[in-house]
Structure 1
């Protein structure tokens, strides 16, 4: 029993680190590219997938073209 109790804090710490990593990736938008690649490959495995740089450029252009976002100076 003492071995199982000793292993639990490491598991909790690992789960917490996993959750924090997930949260930061979602908050920063880094996970959007991974979702795009998964979706593109599931719809058409032979389709050309954008590079991360091209994906981010297209995403930024779309965001800046949206009138609901307002004016961005920087």
Structure 2
């Protein structure tokens, strides 16, 4: 039973990464490893900025 749950979590994590659900976490990792000065964007600011950039420069999206 544990193997099934572990497999389901792995699939869920994979699909989440395809959808961009982990984008903010990756942004924070990059931000801290790059040595940027100043505070990082909040999660809300990050998603708003991401959506604004996609709206102003659409590339290969279905909608």
Do the structures match in fold with TM over 0.5?
Answer: yes
RMSD: 2.3
* Offset of residue 25 of structure 1: 1.7
Distance 1:68 1:46, change over 3 A: closer
Distance 1:46 1:16, change over 3 A: same
Q: Who is 1:5 aligned against?
A: none
Q: Gaps (5+ residues) in structure 1?
A: 1-8
Tell which has more relative contact order, 1 or 2 (C-alpha 8 A, sep 6+): 2
Q: Who is 1:44 aligned against?
A: 35
Q: TM-score, normalised by structure 2?
A: 0.74
1:24-64 Cα distance to aligned partner (Å, 9 max, x none): 32133110000000110111275311111100010001111
Larger Rg: 1
Q: Counterparts of 1:1-74 in structure 2 under 5 Å?
A: 9-10=1-2, 12-44=3-35, 47-69=38-60
Runs of at least 4 residues off by over 6 Å: none
Aligned residue pairs, count: 62
Bigger share in helix: 1
